[in-house]
Amino acid sequence: MLMMFQQLVQVCQVMVIISFSSSITSLASDLLPPGEVAALRQIGKTLNEDGRVSFNLGDRCVSGKNVTITRYPPTIEMNGTIGCSCSIAVDKFCHITSFEVKGYDLSGRLPPDLANLTYVERIDFTRNNLYGTIPVEWASMKNLSFISLTANRLSRNIPGYLGNFTGLTYLILSSNNLVGTLPEALAQIKDLTDFRVSDNNLNGTVPEFIGSGLCATGLQGPIPRAIFLLEKLKDLRITDTSGPEFPLLNVPKKMDHLVLRKINLNGTIPEEAWSVVTTLDLTFNKLVGELPSDKIRRQFTFLSGNMLTGTVPESFILSNQYL
């Protein structure tokens, strides 16, 4: 009887040890490398530079899924995820894979130390109030596939190094105070499907491209024309650029949205433009020619502020309140 009791105690001790050690391993598997934890600290400070709100980022990969983000007071729109994975590398650590902090109303700067999170593929700072430049440090983030910085107060130029991010599919920089020209290197991003730079103060003149990105010196055009040759592009929005007039020669096939408002387009509307699926906005350019009466079938078509002629088809009037 006593022996049985002692055996039971031993079994219990073994079980206690097992469950204790398993809780240690589960903690260990949530660990981020010290470099990523240090970067998170600094990123939190840079985003909330003025300390206007209470904003904190965790230091663990919770359940192998995310790092906690806390903001006090909360905003109605805030929607953030710092994603992480514990199987992305063959080391004993978890790593941060995405950094999305949308609608947090933070008024600091874009954090250069984000570049220290080398496994990050997505960056989204939509709808904050961040100022300053797109950091040069980010040039080393070769795994990026998605960048959205829309609706902030970013200034200065769009850095040319973005053209080196060959895996980029989304590049959304609209509604900031960016100036200068569109870097011609952007035309190298062959997988780009969504490119928006509307509502900035872009201007200037860049060398024209021929076909696959060869630069023909001496020729001038306000936007690198190779942008229009990116075959996978589904969404392109560029508005209010100054610069010389130029014709729209190519439109990628099967686009969902094409918004080229007030960018000094001249000449006629190319045939492919009529196959844009959802939104076609070419308003306030210097386009000429006749509207094809049989081709305008999409929901949103905006062409006013040009010198177009022809009978406006009934389908067009019905679908276009701004004409």
Q: How far is the CB of 60 from ligand NAG (least distance, A)?
A: 11
**All residues at 6 or more sequence positions from 217 whose CB lies less than 8 Å from its CB, including other chains:** 207
CA 258, 121, 206: angle at the middle one, nearest 5? 45
Distance, CA of 284 to CA of 128 (rounded, Å): 30
CA 281, 265, 151: angle at the middle one, nearest 5? 50
242 binds ligand NAG (CB under 6 A): yes
The one-letter amino acid code at 264 reads N
290 binds ligand NAG (CB under 6 A): no
Within a 10 A sphere around the Cβ of 9, how many other Cβ atoms? Answer: 10
Q: Which of 46, 48, 97, 116 binds ligand NAG (CB under 6 A)?
A: 116
State both tokens at 2. 């006593």
60 binds ligand NAG (CB under 6 A): no
Which 175-214 positions form the footprint of ligand NAG (CB under 6 A)?
A: 179-180, 185, 203-204
DSSP 8-state secondary structure symbol assigned to residue 207: E
DSSP string, 94-157: -EEEEEEEES----SB--GGGGG-TT--EEE--SS--EE---GGGGG-TT--EEE--SSEEEEE
Which 148-177 positions form the footprint of ligand NAG (CB under 6 A)?
A: 160-161, 164
> Dmax over Cα atoms in the chain, in whole Å?
104
Q: How far is the CB of 136 from ligand NAG (least distance, A)?
A: 9
Q: Which of 113, 194, 208, 281 binds ligand NAG (CB under 6 A)?
A: 113
244 binds ligand NAG (CB under 6 A): yes
75 binds ligand NAG (CB under 6 A): no
Q: How far is the CB of 160 from ligand NAG (least distance, A)?
A: 4
CA-based nearest residue to 73, from 53, 93, 45: 53
Count of residues engaged in binding ligand NAG, rule: CB under 6 A: 30
| Per-residue binding letters, 13-52, with ligand NAG (x by CB under 6 A) | ----------------------x--xx--x----------
Q: Which of 75, 81, 107, 275 binds ligand NAG (CB under 6 A)?
A: 81
126 binds ligand NAG (CB under 6 A): no
**Cα–chain-centroid distance for residue 204?**
23
Residues forming contacts to ligand NAG in the complex (CB under 6 A) are: 35, 38-39, 42, 62-63, 65-66, 79-81, 100, 113, 116, 139, 160-161, 164, 179-180, 185, 203-204, 242, 244-247, 266-267
